[in-house]
Structure 1
Amino acid sequence: SNKLQKLTGKKKKSARPAQPRCSREVIEAPEDANIEEYLRSEHILFHWTRPQQLLTPFVCFPKGFGIDADQIAAFEEKPASHSMGSSQSTSVPDSRIVETEYGKVQGRRLISEGDRQVDAFQGIPFAKAPVGELRFKKPQPPDRWDDIFDARKWGPRAVQKDVFTFGLWKSGPKSEDCLRLNVFTPCWIPPEGGFAVMVFVHGGGFAMGDASVYGDRSICETLCLKDVVVVTIQYRLGYLGFWTTGDAACPSNLGLWDQTAALQWIQLNIEAFGGNKDNVTVMGQSAGGVSVDLLAISPHSTGLFHKVIPMGGCASAKWAFAPSMKKVCERRAKKVKIQEWSSSENLMEQLRALPSSAFEISMFGADLIDGADLECTPVIDGDFLPSSVDELRKSAPAKPMMTGVAKLEALMFLLMVKKTAGKVRKAATKAVPETVPNREEEIENLIREYIDLDTVKGKKAIHRALHEVHSDFATNAATLKMIKDTLAAQPGNPVYSYVFSYLNPKSYGPLRWYLSVVEATHGMELPYLFGKALMLKFDFNEKDREMCDIFSTAFTNFAKYGNPNGPVSSSTVLPVEWEAASIEHSERHYIFDKEFRNEDSYFNGRPSKLLQLRELTIEEQK
């Protein structure tokens, strides 16, 4: 373009430029792209290196721009402002010293503004390192320490395969010694009983992720300044966290036992940090949402927390459980060169002799079997989960619940999937159980809930329909089922449901120029909870800051009072009062968007239709 020629002094070439001297790919920018905008730090995109393999980042520059490898490397490393607060400072003062049951800890004072000071204590061990003979064992309490524990930096993350190794996802070292937590706490005098406590469990398909991604200073600014203590925890992932032999040789659900151990540590120690052990809210997103839902219904976590917030995933989701985890684990053993074993005990003995790298996996590129969606998941083991989710939910202690999804949950998982009318039909067919009476007719009826394939041929409409059917099948129907079952089992217990529809298109980076449908997708509410961009960097504008304040206030209100609107005695601080769901209005939810409102139809009734089809299957089986 003329603009490109003026900026660079280079004429536009018709041939593709030579590849730079590095493992990046140069692609042509859209004709209408703003060149200056490309030169800011929201430039990272993804492409598939191989079918069903991991995602690799590449840098997107205008065609013919003439940037060499060294310049690209410098560009990639350039720091950017992407959150409500800055990252770690080189001159951060030390925090106060706190005495825990296991010894003294000292962290950093991340906020010091007059009488509004917030301390961060990072990398505190809540269990012994699960190494050696403790590998594949339930977590054990940590040993006491004599010196002051240095809690000024993140602890190691769990063993996992590194997929994202750039920008915001440049994480620290990984180790089996990953059972660490982080406490962010106000320094001013707490209310009677202590500050409400919010515990966050990260997602990542039970295979990847760590607590550091969600920030430190931004948590202090966005949440702690609203009079809460925040704790972020880590747990074993992948095969180290979810190996199962189906017998006593290896306890199942070790990752969930780790989360429970963290909650037990909080009960023992949070008062020393100013927190109220009798007012603990556990929240999680994606696989973290599944985790906190399972914690809420497991008898082993009774009394450890009092409110729950599953986001973008719950235990009723099909992908929350792999149908053949024992078979998956046995196949993994053969992949790491263990060809035979005389017993489960002998298998575990051989596995303990392997390096931790043998167990690295990611949630991308998994070699799955039996229709599973994830490689490693929890299992119904007769111990942590003594019976099915449906049965456990019926008898679980009542806990106020807040739960929600993004407007188009599946969009981020279908970025590289070719979207056709045939894919819409295939997805709808998968969503209708094979035992439903008149199945072919029900499939056609379901497709018409999304699109009329006989008359609608536009690419954008087909793309949206595919995103919607996958979102409903994978997440929305499961969330609605959890809400309905909770309301039925716990009459009078408050349940607040939301749909996060707000979107700053810049949060997609340059992807927004390539997508036919751009909506809030899986995890896009998290920047507005933590005050920090998580995947692609973008600067918060005035509307973003306003949404961040409103969204995070709803969460801290729920943690403090069990009501996102605030204390019952006062009017709501939200733009519109958030109405709770009920047995009569189980689809009622709150829309977070440029306009805030309550709605009584959950995604136009489509998830309810999917649940009805499942009920038809159950009746047919009876």
Structure 2
Amino acid sequence: MPRRKVVFLSVMIALSVYLGVLLFTGSVVATGPQVRTQIGILEGFTHENSDGSKVDVFLGVKYAQAGRFQKPMPYPEVTGVVKATTFGPSCWPQEVLPSRSNAAEGPEFAEDCLYLNIIKPSEKPKNPNGYPVLVYIHGGGFVRGDARDWGYKSLAEKFASKGIIVVTIQYRLGPFGFFASNTTDIPTNLGLFDQMYALFFLNQILPNFNGNPYELTVLGHSAGAAGAHALAISPQAGGLFTRIIQLSASLFSTWAIGEDVIAESLSLAERLGCPNNPKLRDCLEAKPVEAWMAAMKEVTYGRPSVAEFRFHPKLDDSFLPFSLEELSNDAPAVPILFGLTDAEWVQIVNEPYMDIRPMRVPDADRADFNKEKLLAYFDRILFKGPDDPLKPLIEEYIDSSGLETPNDYLKKASEIISDVMFNIPVINQIQHRIKSKQETYLFYETFANPDVRASDKASFGVPHGNELAYLFPAERSNEPFTKEDILVQDALIDAIVSFVKTGKPKSGNLSWPQVGSTLKHVLLTPDLKVNNEYEPARTKFWTKTLPSRLSLEALRKHLPFAQKYDTKTEL
């Protein structure tokens, strides 16, 4: 009997029964679009796009309730009409950063924060099965972010106008979503359970919104992509989605998964005055959220490490109950579209050094950055101590790269850190999928207009999150788009719309090819084209040279899903 099977929580089974017997009675006078759902009658508002199409928007829909350290539970039915016209409060982040300009009225943060937002075409679908659905999971390193930050206007304009229902979800963050101890008394990965429960809830209510739950695509960026990847391999989440889009991240990154979250969690508990004993949970539950936030402010937002974020998923006994290999091997085959930029973590050399994000290159080192300073920088954020066997191999790699100027060394720093944190974990995932003959697509973004992200201009290359300015122009871009920007934006949105509707990405007349053994991909530039190889020299170093010269144990301290390279075989 195969190990993997679809598993639903007992509360989900209870909810299914509850949904099956729930009845609605009475008449309602509508002032905005209304939809009868299992939690009450939701009333949203209608928004008109620039092309004249209309969409119905439902904001702040409560998809679950959950107390501290509790898995999400059904939200009780509300009698009468529930106004769904403003965003719900955001989940508490690890640290409160400057507020967003589009903050809604009402509390900005809350522990009771499991809300989602639905943007649907006003017109009834021509397909009797309903509209396909796109669910967006925000990023933020599992320690910050929300759905409110992404608004609804761009999603209405770019996707709902094209016959797609779009949903944005929130999930618990930082220690509220990813606290982990060395006991089972406190469940871990609660933020992932939130994401899964949101999908389960959507599967129940989408028919009421003219949506097709059997055509549901999950799109995640950064930590949201790692979350989508976790959903793809978890035995808990099977059957809740049809396909996935992973932008700029994989769960196979040291910042996205690891046992180090236990030490960080217990350290936080100690700062809260809660010793690691059988009463740990009781003590932590008694502490007000203000005490939690004060304790978290005593440490930096990030660590000086490629494993930057303090709170993140880990293997457990429920959501991710086996090794990464077992979970990946047993996962059902679903099509995945990946996206990468050519300078994912250029911010380490691009932005001023801040104590809050201590992994960046110090400002004083940039003007005369050289090999010595580069290796010293890697000593601080990459190598696992002075005897890390990776160190001499990285030095060889640097020596073979023909670097001369400070800018050359800064660019190499950005390239190596980008590879470790984002690119190679994604490539590891893709290569496993190729061996398993799973449908896989990849785009590589090599065009960036620096004026579109004026507050985050890259010294070189396309930075992490650049594509979000094209997907969310109303919320993310600072300048009007050039003709080149519009070409890139149209190609990207066309591909996503096509993938959501058919499972096959297509831009104009270009049908995107599947990734092959050479990592064939689409170059996302104004002159859209297919490229047969993905960064061959860099890929060879990380997936062939290092695995042939390092033990798997040593390599997996940097790349959790690294595989030994057999020189006798090729992909």
Q: Please, which of 287, 294, 312 is the counterpart of residue 354 of structure 1?
A: 287
1:154 and 2:91 are equivalent in the alignment: no
Matches of 1:112 and 1:363, distance apart in 2: 45
Q: Which moved more, 1:352-361 or 1:282-291?
A: 352-361
Residue equivalent to 2:144: 208
What is the Cα deviation at residue 341 of structure 1? 5.3
Matches of 2:520 and 2:387, distance apart in 1: 28
Q: Does structure 2 conserve the Cα–Cα contact (< 8 Å) formed by 1:363 and 1:374?
A: no
What is the Cα deviation at residue 115 of structure 1? 7.4
Matches of 2:448 and 2:408, distance apart in 1: 20
Q: How does 1:87-236 map to 2 (within 5 A)?
A: 95-111=32-48, 116-128=53-65, 130=66, 134-160=67-93, 161-165=95-99, 167=101, 173-190=108-125, 191-236=127-172
Post-superposition CA distance 1:533-587 (Å, at most 9, x none)? 42x633334433333222112111101111111xxxxxx525x4422102x33x2
1:617 and 2:525 are equivalent in the alignment: no
Matches of 2:80 and 2:552, distance apart in 1: 63
Q: Counterpart amino acid of 1:374?
A: F
Give the secondary structure class of the aligned counterpart of 1:532.
Answer: helix
Q: Please, which of 371, 374, 398 is the counterpart of residue 424 of structure 1?
A: 374
Relative contact order (C-alpha < 8 Å, sep 6+): which is higher? 1
Matches of 1:332 and 1:428, distance apart in 2: 27
Residue equivalent to 2:333: 398
Q: Counterpart amino acid of 2:178?
A: F
Q: Counterpart amino acid of 1:220?
A: A
What is the Cα deviation at residue 122 of structure 1? 0.6
Residue equivalent to 2:439: 494
Q: Which moved more, 1:188-197 or 1:169-178?
A: 169-178
Residue equivalent to 1:556: 497
Q: TM-score, normalised by structure 2?
A: 0.82
Q: Please, which of 510, 519, 530 is the counterpart of residue 472 of structure 2?
A: 530
Post-superposition CA distance 1:16-70 (Å, at most 9, x none)? xxxxxxxxxxxxxxxxxxxxxxxxxxxxxxxxxxxxxxxxxxxxxxxxxxxxxxx
Q: Please, which of 527, 532, 537 is the counterpart of residue 605 of structure 1?
A: 537
Q: Counterpart amino acid of 1:219?
A: L
Q: Does structure 1 conserve the Cα–Cα contact (< 8 Å) formed by 2:220 and 2:246?
A: yes
Give the secondary structure class of the aligned counterpart of 1:403.
Answer: strand
Q: How does 1:61-76 map to 2 (within 5 A)?
A: none
Q: Counterpart amino acid of 2:398?
A: I
Q: Please, which of 299, 317, 326 is the counterpart of residue 262 of structure 2?
A: 326
1:221 to 1:116, Cα distance in 2 relative to 1, 3 A? same
What is the Cα deviation at residue 246 of structure 1? 2.6
Give the secondary structure class of the aligned counterpart of 1:410.
Answer: coil
What is the Cα deviation at residue 620 of structure 1? 8.1
Matches of 2:299 and 2:348, distance apart in 1: 10
Q: Counterpart amino acid of 1:236?
A: R
Residue equivalent to 1:509: 454
Give ranges in structure 2 of 5+ residues lacking alignment: 1-29, 353-360, 555-563, 565-571
Q: Does structure 1 conserve the Cα–Cα contact (< 8 Å) formed by 2:452 and 2:469?
A: no
Residue equivalent to 1:88: none
Give the secondary structure class of the aligned counterpart of 1:509.
Answer: helix
Post-superposition CA distance 1:392-430 (Å, at most 9, x none)? 111100000001111100112442323422343356777
Q: Does structure 2 conserve the Cα–Cα contact (< 8 Å) formed by 1:313 and 1:479?
A: yes
Q: Does structure 1 conserve the Cα–Cα contact (< 8 Å) formed by 2:50 and 2:157?
A: no
Q: How does 1:295-334 map to 2 (within 5 A)?
A: 295-334=231-270
Matches of 1:501 and 1:322, distance apart in 2: 31
1:127 to 1:495, Cα distance in 2 relative to 1, 3 A? same
Q: Please, which of 440, 461, 467 is the counterpart of residue 408 of structure 2?
A: 461
Matches of 1:112 and 1:526, distance apart in 2: 19
What is the Cα deviation at residue 141 of structure 1? 0.9
Matches of 1:272 and 1:378, distance apart in 2: 33
Give the secondary structure class of the aligned counterpart of 2:345.
Answer: helix
Matches of 1:495 and 1:601, distance apart in 2: 15
Matches of 1:549 and 1:347, distance apart in 2: 52
Matches of 1:363 and 1:202, distance apart in 2: 26
1:494 to 1:247, Cα distance in 2 relative to 1, 3 A? same
Q: Counterpart amino acid of 1:127?
A: A
1:439 to 1:560, Cα distance in 2 relative to 1, 3 A? closer
1:347 to 1:272, Cα distance in 2 relative to 1, 3 A? same
Matches of 1:464 and 1:370, distance apart in 2: 18
Q: Counterpart amino acid of 1:254?
A: L
Post-superposition CA distance 1:417-452 (Å, at most 9, x none)? 234223433567776889999866633432145x32
Q: Counterpart amino acid of 2:542?
A: L
Structure label with greater radius of gyration: 1
1:111 to 1:394, Cα distance in 2 relative to 1, 3 A? same
Q: TM-score, normalised by structure 1?
A: 0.75
1:169 to 1:486, Cα distance in 2 relative to 1, 3 A? farther
Q: Counterpart amino acid of 1:424?
A: L
Q: Does structure 2 conserve the Cα–Cα contact (< 8 Å) formed by 1:223 and 1:530?
A: no
Give the secondary structure class of the aligned counterpart of 1:209.
Answer: coil
1:353 to 1:518, Cα distance in 2 relative to 1, 3 A? same
Matches of 1:104 and 1:427, distance apart in 2: 56
How large is the RMSD of aligned CA atoms in angstroms?
2.9
Give the secondary structure class of the aligned counterpart of 1:245.
Answer: coil
What is the Cα deviation at residue 180 of structure 1? 0.4
Give ranges in structure 1 of 5+ residues lacking alignment: 1-92, 566-571
Q: Which moved more, 1:396-405 or 1:541-550?
A: 541-550
Matches of 2:48 and 2:391, distance apart in 1: 61
Q: Does structure 1 conserve the Cα–Cα contact (< 8 Å) formed by 2:143 and 2:311?
A: yes
Give the secondary structure class of the aligned counterpart of 1:231.
Answer: strand
- Total equivalences in the alignment: 504
Post-superposition CA distance 1:493-525 (Å, at most 9, x none)? 32001111221111232664xx6x233201110
